[in-house]
């Protein structure tokens, strides 16, 4: 779905090929486009671990694309907001023994938060992104749907967007493949057509989360590695070095491999067990973010995705309305799944790939050891 001709659209420009092609499609549609790049990194001269997606190079690349398209471009500084709402949250979740997905939070609070504020100031009716997802109207509600090109689908990280956010959102690439996008960029002679993609967190580009967390004053305090029956098997380097389902790097000599089953922040303990102990069939979530269906208090069947690289599986979601409770729903998976991880998000789809709802995973019911 594209906006009507002459609509004013703020286009988020990351400096990459996807947002460049999204902007070109909207210009061809006849929309009045304004390119905007979020600056989430320190000013020039300051050391940064960020990938180019939100730094100075990104802004320069985005400006060149906008010049080629004949549309204005600006940079929106959101360094402090990103530091407070995303990086502080990331550090706090790890300190609590959870494994967060900051991209989900960033989409809702920064990309569809700060950008919407700027869109209002500019009088733009829509905000466009180069994400691979479809957006459709279903009765009185807006619903995200998986992209046609499933390998690039990004509906999972967009799932918590509100109805107010979706009402003004545009995803021009939802029906395209990555090859289609690069081919179109090459026709425009965009330099970004050959630009590599970043697969890591923009603020931890080397994947050394423990090292990064130390810079945020999250101490990696050693503690016991415990078997599921309570036996002490060794010492860990700090909870920030581990995640549920991890096998390598435990430093345990044993006849059979051990896997991380749970991170117990209260005891500062890493709980490990055989692979079968990492499976569970039931978990609880935080507050539900409703998508293609309105809020309800009755159970519904769906297909549940529990992390960004997970194939959704059949499940039943039972919403809960308990005053004062953090729990938003109980989820029963038809078949136990490996590594249900507190801090990640559960996204609930129907059989036609529409997002019904989403919620953060709070806790899980381990399989009997």
Q: Which residue would you say has higher pLDDT here, 109 or 219?
A: 109
The sign of the torsion formed by the CA atoms of 186, 188, 191, 193 equals negative
Per-residue pLDDT of 86-131, as tens digits, reads 999 999 998 888 999 999 999 989 888 889 999 999 999 999 999 9
Residue-wise pLDDT tens digits, 338-356: 989 999 999 999 999 999 9
202 flagged as catalytic: yes
The whole-chain average pLDDT of the chain stands at: 89
Percent of the chain with pLDDT over 70: 90
342 beta partners: 344
Minimum mean pLDDT among 128-132, 241-245, 316-320, 350-354: which range? 241-245
Q: Are 334 and 314 in contact (CB under 8 A)?
A: yes
Please answer whether residues 332 and 251 qualify as being in contact, where contact means their C-beta atoms are separated by less than 8 angstroms. Answer: no
pTM: 0.91
Catalytic residue among 33, 103, 106, 302: 106
Domains of the chain: 8-194 (3.40.50.620), 222-273 (2.30.30.280), 279-366 (2.40.30.10)
Find, among 2, 294, 288, 287, the residue nearest to 141 by Cα.
294
Distance, CA of 10 to CA of 30 (rounded, Å):
14
User: Among residues 31, 66, 202, 289, which one is catalytic?
Assistant: 202
| Cα R_g (the chain), whole angstroms | 22
The reported pLDDT for the residue numbered 211 is 82
CB 154 within 8 A of CB 131: yes
- pLDDT of residue 145 exceeding 90, the answer is yes
Listed in sequence order, the residues at least 6 apart from 310 whose beta carbon sits closer than 8 Å to its beta carbon are: 337
106 backbone φψ class: left, alpha, beta (φ>0; ψ -120 to 50):
alpha
Task: Give pLDDT tens digits for 158-217.
Answer: 999 999 999 999 999 999 999 999 999 888 766 776 666 665 677 776 677 878 888 887
d(CA 282, CA 288): 16
Mean pLDDT value across residues 252-271: 92
Q: Which residues of 275-300 are buried (b: 16+ CB within 10 A; e: fewer)?
A: eebbbbbbbbbbebbbbbbeeeeeeb
3-state SS record for the chain: CCCCCCCEEEEECCCCHHHHHHHHHHHHHCCEEEEEEEECCCCCCCCCCCCHHHCHHHHHHHHHHHHHHCCCEEEEECHHHHHHHHHHHHHHHHHCCCCCCHHHHHHHHHHHHHHHHHHHHHCCCEEECCCCEEEEEECCEEEEEECCCHHHCCHHHHCCCCHHHHCCEECCCCCCCHHHHHHHHHHCCCHHHHCCCCCCCCCCCCCCHHHHHHHCCCCCCCEEEEECCCCEEEEECCHHHCCCCCCCCCCCCCCCCCEEEEEECCCCEEEEECHHHHEEEEEEECCCEECCCCCCCCCEEEEEECCCCCCCEEEEEEECCCCCCCCCEEEEEEEEEECCCECEEEEEECCCCEEEEEEEEEEEEECCC
Identify the CA nearest to 11 among candidates 73, 58, 60, 70.
73
Residues 125 and 96 sit within 8 Å (Cβ to Cβ): no
Q: How confident is the model at residue 367 (pLDDT cuts 50, 70, 90)?
A: low
Q: Name the percent of the chain lying above pLDDT 90.
A: 67
Tell me the pairing of strands 133-138 and 126-128.
unpaired
């Amino acid at each position: 779905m594209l906006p009507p001709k002459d609509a004013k659209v703020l286009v988020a420009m990351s400096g990459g090929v996807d947002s460049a092609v999204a902007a070109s499609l909207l210009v061809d549609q006849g929309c009045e486009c304004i390119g905007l790049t979020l600056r989430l990194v320190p000013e020039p001269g300051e050391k940064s671990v960020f990938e180019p997606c939100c730094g100075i190079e990104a802004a320069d690349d985005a400006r060149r694309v906008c010049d080629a398209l004949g549309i204005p471009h600006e940079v929106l500084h959101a360094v402090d907001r990103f530091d407070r709402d995303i990086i502080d949250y990331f550090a706090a979740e790890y300190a609590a023994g959870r494994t967060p997905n900051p991209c989900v939070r960033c989409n809702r609070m920064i990309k569809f938060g700060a950008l919407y504020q700027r869109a209002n100031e500019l009088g733009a009716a829509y905000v466009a992104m180069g994400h691979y997802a479809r957006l459709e109207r279903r009765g009185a509600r807006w619903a995200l749907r998986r992209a046609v090109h499933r390998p690039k689908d990004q509906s999972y990280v967009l799932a918590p967007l509100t109805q107010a956010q979706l009402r003004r959102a545009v995803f021009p690439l939802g029906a395209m493949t990555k090859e289609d996008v690069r081919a179109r960029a090459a026709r425009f002679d965009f330099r970004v057509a050959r630009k590599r993609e970043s697969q890591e967190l923009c603020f931890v580009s080397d994947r050394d989360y423990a090292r990064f967390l130390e810079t945020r004053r999250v101490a990696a305090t050693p503690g016991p590695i415990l078997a599921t029956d309570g036996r002490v098997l060794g010492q860990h380097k700090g909870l920030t070095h581990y995640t549920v389902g991890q096998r390598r790097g435990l430093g345990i000599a044993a006849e059979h491999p051990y896997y991380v089953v749970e991170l117990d922040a209260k005891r500062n303990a890493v709980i490990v067990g055989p692979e079968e102990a990492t499976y569970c069939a039931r978990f609880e979530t935080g507050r539900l973010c409703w998508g293609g269906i309105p809020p309800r208090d009755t159970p519904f069947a769906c297909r549940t995705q529990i992390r960004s690289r997970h194939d959704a599986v059949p499940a039943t979601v039972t919403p809960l309305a308990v005053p004062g409770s953090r729990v938003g729903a109980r989820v029963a998976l038809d078949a136990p799944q490996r590594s249900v991880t507190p801090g990640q998000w559960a996204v609930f789809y129907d059989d036609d790939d529409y997002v019904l709802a989403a919620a953060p995973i709070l806790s899980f019911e381990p399989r009997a050891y």
